[in-house]
Amino acid sequence: MNLDAALKTFLAESRDLLMEMESSLLACERGRIDDDAINGIFRAAHTIKGSSGLFGLEAIVKFTHGVEGTLDAVRNGARELTPELIALLVECRDHMQALIDDVARGGEANAPTLSVAGAVLTARLHGETPPQRVEQTSPPITATADDIGDNFTCTDCWHISVRFGADVLRNGMDPLSFIRYLTTFGTLCGVQSIEDRLPMPDEFDPEACYLGFEIRLKSDADKARIEAAFEFVRDDCKLTILPPRARIAEFVDLLQSTPDSQARLGELLVSIGTLTAPELARALDTQRQLAEHQTPTPLGEILVQQRAVQPAVIEAAVARQKTAPEYKHPEQQSIRVDAHKLEHLIDLIGELIITGAGTHLIAQRARLSELSESASRLSRLVEEVRDCALQLRMVQIGATFSRFQRVVRDVSRELGKDIRLDIAGSDTELDKTLVEQINDPLTHLVRNAVDHGIESADLRVERGKNAQGVVRLNAYHDSGSVVIEVSDDGGGLDRSRILAKAQQRGLTTADAQLSDREVFAFIFEPGFSTADTVTNLSGRGVGMDVVRKNVTALRGAIEVDSVAKQGTTFRIRLPLTLAIVQGFLVGIGPSKFIFPLANVIEVIEGREATSHIDASVRDAKGRCVVELRGHTLPVVDLRRLYELDSQPIERPSIVVLDAGTLRFGVMVDTLLGQYQTVIKPLACLFGGLQGIAGSSILGNGEVALIFDVVALGKRASDPQTHSAALRELT
């Protein structure tokens, strides 16, 4: 472990803690105030402060110390958690995020603008909080621990004895940073460094740590809090913490724990004021007397002799101790792995799948039973490895959903509306890459629901609704895909207004017979907006087209359902992962193509498909359509669409596809069945190829193109696409 790796971990964990802090604060703002929420907020601030001290980020430590003090007062009942204080703490949380982001950019969180903003927030916190904590009067350590004033004397100081392990420096930890952090608890009254473990020059390891410290700390902190300051090195140091006015016997134990340097340690305890010379003499004398006893007296026997407990209690405790299992530290439940390592693993597994499929094909051709059986076992193992690897990339969408509590809160306040966010399906899992890339489209949809969807409180009451509007986020699995819904109980979409705007822009004609879904799809056109006024949030016609573009880039589809005066639902359908696709393999002449299985509705084979094609006509848009169970279905001939060099067959089949806002059919020669394939991106040379999302290598080495069904659907709805095919059919 190096310092850079430790800093990355600190940044990642700090961001997670800030998200938890925000969620708890927003829950308190909604009225769900309890001890768990307050303690969670306090722990987040405390942990960030402690971790920042380890990296010498004094600006974060200083600001977070004030936030922690306020939260401590709330925990102790000295201050009420009012709505005003919650709002102020949310601002403090945002400032902590800004400080962390500055560190991530290579700064030290001490930029002038950040310092001014932090000072203002700190002043607001202190202006409402009575002084309750011991102020820090000692300067931060900038050189060595020996520079701290050794002449301070105080009878109510903690004594801290720490010996760092040899691997502390190798693990990226700075021993002095722990001393710096202790200054946030109170005043350092004395510090002495210990170098008694230095080896001979020829045995010296420049990467090993031989340091130790004896420290006197004046603070109102408790032992658990002081001990927590060393939590990052707790397993790699020897730590002893003695309370103020500790008994001589406790210092005797401290001396006994360092038999090779008792005299030196005793001198240090006297020099920093922890013990007086007579007290040290008594401690050493007691130690010598104890050393003379060959057989130490058991603690239980001493307690019985002093009549502190009854013999029966000691016997029961000893019996229980003998039967109690040995304590073991809990195993770490999770680890952080760089995303690029997972990507590389998925790529290797993809190659393994292709190679395994080729091996299986060779085994079938060779007609060797043992080889075929071995290839089948290999295929099953590869599938299990593939599933496990994909599962590593699966994360719950709940963390993403929780972020929108803040979005709804801020936007509704800006608009003067009372809106809450309801979340369901937060345990639904999907690919981490999808979670990261779907955040922007969801943000726009949520803001749009708050701005356009939810009416004013007066209008809601007039319509017989609750004055408080509701935006809902929901996620669930459906037919091998993940569906994310963004809905509201607002006024719904105005169909007539959208249709009039579409006619005005030439997107449709006045005599066109369009379904509600087709009309609502116009809102995804670039620059389309029905808003009367332009606000900071919306009204420019920019956004919904980007939402659809981003969703389709993820091989997904988006659709809209809306009921006037009742609400609107945006439904996004995404694949579970971007790495591997469940596909339907088809052939057109010698060429192979793959449709994502989630987009395949049904297949019409052979003679039945031919009868439909023979009866095909043009609709009002000039598209080649067939009649299918009372509905018209646009059909496109892929051979002519992509000018494939092969002769058409007499009885083609039709694959019916769903492109979100459109269902259409494509004519193919052969149906080769379901196929699980690894997606390979197209080279830059073919980046502009319309309707193609990627490629895959089949087991026999052939390349199959994977269709982008949404883009293909656009071409299917274009009358020019059908002109050549229609001439052939008629």
d(CA 324, CA 81): 44
The answer to whether 311 touches 304, Cβ cutoff 8 Å, is yes
- Which SS3 state, helix, strand or coil, does residue 706 take? strand
- Whether 621 has a pLDDT exceeding 60, the answer reads no
What local confidence, expressed as pLDDT, does residue 615 receive?
56
Q: How confident is the model at residue 319 (pLDDT cuts 50, 70, 90)?
A: low
Facing residues of 396 across strands? Answer: 429
- List phi, psi (to 5°) of 635: -130, 135
Which of 431-435, 488-492, 517-521, 710-714: highest mean pLDDT? 488-492
Token readout for 131 is 């002084």
Taking alpha carbons only, the member of 166, 184, 185, 183 closest to residue 233 is 166
Confidence category of residue 31, pLDDT binned at 50, 70, 90 = confident
Q: What is the mean pLDDT of residues 441-448?
A: 89
Q: Would you state the torsion angle of the CA atoms of residues 251, 256, 259, 265, taken in this order, to the nearest 10 degrees?
A: -10
DSSP 3-state of 701: coil
Residue 631: exposed, middle, or buried by beta-carbon count in 10 A (0-12, 13-18, 19+)?
A: exposed
Q: Is the pLDDT of residue 280 over 70?
A: no
SS3 of 428-483: CEEEHHHHHHCHHHHHHHHHHHHHHHCCCHHHHHHCCCCCCEEEEEEEEEECCEEE
Name the residue ranges covered by the structural domains of the chain.
3-128, 145-294, 339-392, 403-575, 580-729
Task: Determine what percent of the chain is predicted with pLDDT higher than 70.
Answer: 74
Check whether domain 3-128 has CATH 1.20.120.160, yes or no: yes
Helix (H) / strand (E) element for 125: namely helix 112-128
Nearest CA to 254 out of 242, 267, 272 is that of 242
Question: Which strand (E) or helix (H) includes residue 572?
Answer: strand 567-575
- 531 vs 331, higher pLDDT: 531
Q: What is the mean pLDDT of residues 50-69?
A: 86
Give the tokens for residue 83.
């709505």
Among 105-119, 238-252, 653-667, the range scoring the smallest mean pLDDT is 238-252
CB 251 within 8 A of CB 130: no
More confident residue, 286 or 88: 88
pLDDT for residue 431 is more than 70: yes
**pLDDT value, residue 152:** 36
What one-character-per-residue DSSP string does 358-395 give? HHHHHHHHHT-HHHHHHHHHHHHHHHHHHHHHHHHTEE
**Average pLDDT across the chain, whole number:** 76
145-294 belongs to CATH 3.90.1150.10:
no
Can you read off the two tokens belonging to residue 667? 């004519």
pLDDT at 725: 39
Which comes out higher in pLDDT, residue 198 or 580? 198
pLDDT value, residue 481:
76
Q: Cα separation of 89 and 192, whole Å?
A: 39
The more confidently predicted of residues 235 and 718 is 235
Question: CA dihedral in degrees (507, 512, 516, 521; nearest 10)?
Answer: -20
pLDDT of residue 318: 59
For the domain made up of 403-575, the CATH class stated in words is alpha beta
Mean pLDDT calculated for residue range 476-495: 86
pLDDT of 122 strictly over 80: yes
Higher-pLDDT residue of 615 and 477 is 477
Q: What is the pLDDT of residue 365?
A: 81
What does the block give as tokens for 252?
Answer: 């005797």
Q: How far apart are CA 176 and CA 55, in angstroms?
A: 10
155-158 contacts at long range (C-beta below 8 A, 24 or more positions apart): 155/244, 155/245, 156/218, 156/244, 156/245, 157/189, 157/190, 157/216, 157/217, 157/218, 157/244, 157/273, 157/274, 158/216, 158/217, 158/218, 158/219, 158/221, 158/223, 158/226, 158/241, 158/242, 158/243, 158/244
137 pLDDT more than 50: no
CATH topology of domain 580-729: OB fold (Dihydrolipoamide Acetyltransferase, E2P) (2.40.50)
Q: What pLDDT band is residue 310 in, cutting at 50, 70 and 90?
A: low
Interatomic CA distance for residues 492 and 477, integer angstroms: 26
Most confident of 162-171, 618-627, 715-724: 162-171
* Predicted pLDDT at 688: 63
Secondary element (H or E) of residue 488: strand 481-488
Give the pLDDT score at 422. 92
**pLDDT at residue number 213:** 87
Contacts of 185 (CB under 8 A, 6+ apart): 217, 219, 221, 225, 226, 229
Residue 570: strand, helix, or coil: strand
What's the rounded Cα separation, in Å, for the pair 585 and 592?
7
Which position has the higher pLDDT, 534 or 362? 362
What integer pLDDT is reported at residue 153 of this predicted model? 38
pLDDT greater than 80 at residue 632: no
DSSP SS3 for 251: helix
Cross-strand partners of 557: 573
Instruction: Say what angle helices 262-271 and 277-292 make with each other, to 10 degrees.
Output: 150
Q: Are 180 and 50 in contact (CB under 8 A)?
A: no
Tell me the average pLDDT across 127-148. Answer: 38
Q: What is the mean pLDDT of residues 94-118?
A: 85
In 3D, which of 570, 543, 542 has the Cα closest to residue 556?
Answer: 570
Write down the pLDDT at residue 487.
Answer: 93
User: Is the confidence at residue 37, as pLDDT, over 90?
Assistant: no
Enter the pTM of the model: 0.55
Within 8 A by CB and 6+ apart from 529, the residues are 538, 539, 540, 541
Name the more confident of 460 and 267: 460
What does the radius of gyration of the chain's CA atoms come to, in whole angstroms? 35
Alpha-carbon span 575 to 676, nearest angstrom: 13
* Confidence class for position 611, pLDDT limits 50, 70, 90: low
What is the token pair recorded at 82? 């009012």
User: What span, in angstroms and rounded, lies between the C-alpha atoms of 569 and 474?
Assistant: 10
For residue 595, which of 681, 674, 649, 664 has the smallest C-alpha distance? 674
pLDDT at position 72 over 60: yes
Residue 583's SS3 state is strand
Q: Is 75 exposed, middle or buried (0-12, 13-18, 19+ CB in 10 A)?
A: middle
Which is it for strands 692-697 and 703-707: parallel, antiparallel or unpaired? antiparallel
The DSSP code for 152 is -
Query: What are the distances in angstroms from CA 282 to CA 195, 250, 252, 257, 404?
Result: 26, 12, 9, 17, 64
- Per-residue confidence band for 281, with pLDDT thresholds at 50, 70 and 90: low
**Structure tokens given for 336:** 């952080």
Residues of the chain with pLDDT > 90, as a percent, come to: 5
Residue 329 has pLDDT above 60, yes or no: no
- Look at residue 321 and tell me whether its pLDDT is greater than 70: no
Which amino acid type is present at position 715? R
Short-list 410, 460, 379, 53, CA closest to 226: 53
Q: Which residues contact residue 117 at a Cβ distance below 8 angstroms, ignoring those fewer than 6 apart?
A: 95, 98
Ranked by mean pLDDT, which of 82-91, 237-246, 321-330, 704-713 comes out on top? Answer: 82-91
According to DSSP, residue 59 is labeled H
Residue 317: the pLDDT is 60
Q: What is the mean pLDDT of residues 266-290?
A: 59
Which residues, other chains included, contact 410 with Cβ-Cβ below 8 Å and sequence gap of 6+?
Answer: none
- Alpha carbon distances (Å) from 302 to 110, 135, 254, 298, 320: 56, 42, 20, 6, 19
673-691 pLDDT tens trace: 887 777 777 766 666 677 7
